[in-house]
Amino acid sequence: MISLRKLTTQPDAQLRNLGWDWMLGQDTLPYLTNEVVTVTPAEADAYYEAANELFEMFVAAGQHVIDENRFAELGIPANLIELITLTWNDDRHIHLYGRFDLAGGVGGDSSIKLIEFNADTATCLPETAVVQHAHLLANGLDESHQFNSLFETLTGQFEELLALNPDLQPTLLLSAIRDVPEDDANVALLGEAAREAGFDIELDFVDNVDFSAGEGIFWQNPKNGEFEKLDFWFKLVPWESIAEDEPELLQILTEIVRKRLAVVLNPAYTLLFQSKYILKILWELYPNHPLLLETDTKPLVGKSCVEKVLFGREGANTRILNPDGSERQTTDGDYGGYPKIYQEYVEFPKDAAGNAYQAGVFYAGEACGLGFRKGGFILDNTAGFVGHIIE
No. of helices (H) and no. of strands (E), the chain: 11, 20
Statement: residue 11 has pLDDT above 80: no
User: Containing domain of residue 163, as a range?
Assistant: 4-19+35-276+347-390
Are 125 and 95 within one domain? yes
Q: How many CB atoms lie within 10 A of CB 38?
A: 17
The answer to whether position 78 is within a domain reads yes
Question: pLDDT tens digits for 56-115?
Answer: 999 999 999 999 999 999 999 999 999 999 999 999 999 999 999 999 999 888 899 999
Are 373 and 230 within one domain? yes
Phi and psi angles of residue 38, each rounded to the nearest 5 degrees, phi first: -85, 130
The answer to whether position 29 is within a domain reads no
pLDDT of residue 19: 67
Nearest to 2 by CA among 354, 245, 350: 350
Domain end position, chosen among 326, 344, 362: 344
Q: Rounded CA gap, 27 and 181, in Å? A: 7
Are 204 and 267 within one domain? yes
Are 322 and 237 within one domain? no
Are 321 and 359 within one domain? no
Are 329 and 181 within one domain? no
Question: pLDDT tens digits for 129-156?
Answer: 988 998 898 899 988 999 999 999 999 9
Predicted TM-score (pTM) of this structure = 0.94
Sheet holding 388-390, edge to edge: 4-6, 35-39, 388-390
Are 174 and 70 within one domain? yes
Q: How many domains does the chain have?
A: 2
The answer to whether position 27 is within a domain reads no
Are 158 and 39 within one domain? yes
